[in-house]
Structure 1
Amino acid sequence: MTTEGKKQNGFVETVKTIFWALVIAGVFRSVFFQPFWIPSGSMKDTLLIGDFLFVNKMAYGYSYASCPSVRMPRFGVNIDAKDLCGVFDGDNTRFLPGVPERGDVVVFRHPATGLDYIKRLIAMPGETVQMKKGVLHIDGKAVELADGGLFEEPAGPQGPQGLRPRCENGPVGDGGNCVKSRQIETLPNGVSHGILNITNQSSDNTGVFTVPEGHFFFMGDNRDNSTDSRVPRAARGVGFVPFENLIGRADRIMFSSAGRSMFFFWTWRGDRFFKAVN
């Protein structure tokens, strides 16, 4: 074989290797685990901006939302899960379904925008939810709350988007100490987790929501800094989330970076590597 032929064969083999690597990665991402990078502070202090985790897609079975959306605006790529698997949309059922549990931290597809959101599952189908003076009530009964101390973080831009945290101790300049009150909330099934308070606002006092059959009610742990089921879709919120829109359960943080890029090793949070999500 000539040198020219060897080069052509080498090129073809390289293309084949890349192709099959992409196929395997696509299958892994679609069927087993989906990577998810925390972009905002709505789940503090359970999840911080810059936490990187894999979402367990086997936990609740599969629906059209299990297909990956590929969004790369810089390159003009915007492939939605509906473009790939839209034929399975609309019946609110799943293949090999698993039952979500109250308190699970779940990645789901926003019912209106199609974007991936991560929140905590608060209420099940048929239950009622209401916030009264910042206290969660499920089926008319207040959840158990205990003092959890303070959550403190440096004030200043966070993550690739440069988002600034809201602070209970008022506007705080860069480098200052941003403080929020922390409580331990225990849901009716015994799941306990931290929640944060920033101020008194409209989302601390709501009407009564009745969760429809086949839907779930989600909230962020950073209660005053979360767009979730407390805000109807018509008002640009999340509203009730259909069963088919669930993507998977967040079980463990694999990696965490406090900087603008995961490659800035000096900003890595070593104490959060392989940390369980509770």
Structure 2
Amino acid sequence: MAENVTKKGNAVIETVKTIVYALLIAGIFRTLFFQPFWIPSGSMKETLLIGDFLFVNKMAYGYSYASCPSVILPAVGINIDAEDVCGVFRGDNDRLFGSEPERGDVVVFRHPVSGRDFIKRLVGLPGDQIQVKGGVLSINGEQVKLQDDGVFTEIYEPQGPQGTRPRCSNGPVGEGAVCEKTREIETFPNGNTHTILNIGNQGMDNTGIYTVPEGNYFFMGDNRDNSSDSRLPQSAGGVGFVPFENLIGRADRIMFSSAGRSMLFFWTWRGNRFFKAVE
């Protein structure tokens, strides 16, 4: 009898050890290599859609305090922030094994004020002068090249877990109607090309000149009229300039994409987005 109890006790201990080891390995993997990211908003359409699930390459720019994973599960009261774990390393705006990002990279970063993870396209490098005039981006006094690329269409209906509805250039439209945005191909001075969307003349289509400070970066969403980004200062609820140490990693490839309210609803997965490269 005692032997059976001992065996059961050993089995429980081994199970607990296995779980602990698995969690440690997963934590190391997420901290050093790749971090999963679920797209919650439409600010990067059509490059990234609500419901895209991707892994962020954390090796791309090296490591800082922001590389430590955050674990936020409101349903069970868990709110462990990266700064809670690695905040002692914050403040020098440096990185271990650091490498500079390139203009046009799609980057996940920590918001300088809220600490929440954002994903945007890198537009401005340190020392750049950035301005938007008439909806056209200028970098160091030169307008980027734009090429018309037709119309982006989607159904006007709730999207994703938050149930947000898209904004339309042909709006207002009714539930279930076709929502349109103009699509253009934008080309940066380094040759990087990507798609941007617009819905018309908006408040952030004309800005002053932003001079990007040393050690900081300027980000914008590809869905230009539906993005809270560096065009709006932090004091006004925007992103503002983002320090180098706040970069988490580069988005390289979409693993799969769900058009439903949850990524677990596999019948809503988009068949054309499996392992799709992020451009």
Deviations 1:66-89 (A, max 9, x none): 001111111111111111001110
Residues 1:106 and 2:107 are matched in the alignment: yes
Confirm whether residue 85 of structure 1 aligns to residue 83 of structure 2: no
Partner of 2:98: 97
2:151 aligns with: 150
Distance 1:14 1:108 in 2: 36
Q: Whole-Å Cα distance in 2 between the matches of residues 148 and 32 of structure 1?
A: 36
Corresponding position: 1:245 with 2:242: no
Segments of 5+ residues of structure 1 without an aligned counterpart are none
For the residues of structure 2 that align with 1:220 and 1:144, how far apart are their CA atoms? 17
Matches within 5 A, 1:26-105: 26-105=27-106
5 Å-filtered alignment, 1:14-29, equals 14-29=15-30
Counterpart code for 2:170: N
Coordinate RMSD, CA, aligned: 0.8
Aligned position for 1:179: 180
Partners of 1:36 and 1:266 in 2: CA distance = 20
SS at match of 1:82: helix
Rounded Cα–Cα distance in structure 1 between residues aligned with 2:165 and 2:25: 38
Q: How many angstroms apart in 2 are the aligned matches of 1:178 and 1:163? A: 13
CA distance in 1, matches of 2:132, 2:245: 26
Query: 1:224-246: CA deviations, max 9, x gaps?
Result: 00000000001010000000000
CA-CA distance at 1:202 after TM superposition = 1.1
Shift of 1:2: 2.3
The answer to whether the aligner puts 1:218 opposite 2:242 as a matched pair is no
Moved more, 169-178 or 179-188: 169-178
Match of 1:199 in 2: 200
**Quick one: percent identity of the two aligned structures?**
71
SS state at 2:79 partner: strand
Please give the alpha-carbon distance, in whole angstroms, between the structure 1 residues aligned to 2:129 and 2:271.
40
Deviations 1:134-159 (A, max 9, x none): 00001111000000111111110000
Q: Secondary structure at the match of 2:207?
A: coil
Cα offset for 1:199? 2.1
C-alpha displacement at 1:171, in angstroms?
1.7
Query: Separation in 2 of the partners of 1:72 and 1:199?
Result: 38
Q: Aligned residue for 2:235?
A: 234
Residue deviations 1:106-160, cap 9 Å, x none? 0000000000000000010001000000000011110000001111111100001
The residue aligned with 1:126 is 127
Match of 1:261 in 2: 262
TM-score by length of 2: 0.98
